[in-house]
Amino acid sequence: EIVLTQSPGTLSLSPGERATLSCRASQSVSSSYLAWYQQKPGQAPRLLIYRASSRATGIPDRFSGSGSGRDFTLTISRLEPEDFAVYYCQQYGSWFTFGQGTKLEIK
């Protein structure tokens, strides 16, 4: 099983700042089959990025994904108030596993 480790566990930033979230896999992720999801309290997860760097339908371009192999990054270029949430990475190249999440909170 591929284990995904997200860092940091909590990220405290202000609106307008840049956020960088990391996801490291225990082994290489096949074909960059890596996705990022956003989840707000009481809501279902929302797909942001798939195939490491492709934005899902309707996702603003301030969200971007990068990486390959074992190391992946989600970047939010300028934080909006609605971006404060929990973010999960997921690999889907060898069955399906999720990272433990990064909580992005307002500083």
Partner 1 sequence: QVQLVESGGGVVQPGRSLRLSCAASGFTFSSYAMHWVRQAPGKGLEWVAVIAYDGDNKHYADSVKGRFTISRDNSKNTLYLQMNSLRAEDTALYHCARAIDISGYWHAFDIWGQGTKVTVSS
- List the one residue out of 48, 31, 36 whose CA is nearest residue 4: 36
**Residue 14: CB minimum distance to partner 1, A:** 26
Whichever of 29 and 76 has its CB closer to partner 1, that residue is 29
Distance, CA of 68 to CA of 40 (rounded, Å) = 27
Is residue 43 near partner 1 by the rule CB under 8 A?
yes
Binding status of residue 2 toward partner 1 by CB under 8 A: no
Q: How far is the CB of 1 from partner 1 (least distance, A)?
A: 8
Residue 37 touches partner 1, criterion: CB under 8 A: yes
The least CB distance from residue 37 to partner 1, in Å, is: 8
* Structural contact between residues 13 and 19, judged by C-beta atoms closer than 8 angstroms: yes
What stretches of 21-102 show up as alpha helix (H) in DSSP? Answer: none
Task: At 90, give phi and psi (nearest 5°).
Answer: -145, 135
Nearer to partner 1, 29 or 79 (CB): 29
Instruction: Select from 2, 22, 28, 45 the one that contacts partner 1 (CB under 8 A).
Output: 45
Q: What angle do CA 77, 79, 85 make, to 5 degrees?
A: 120
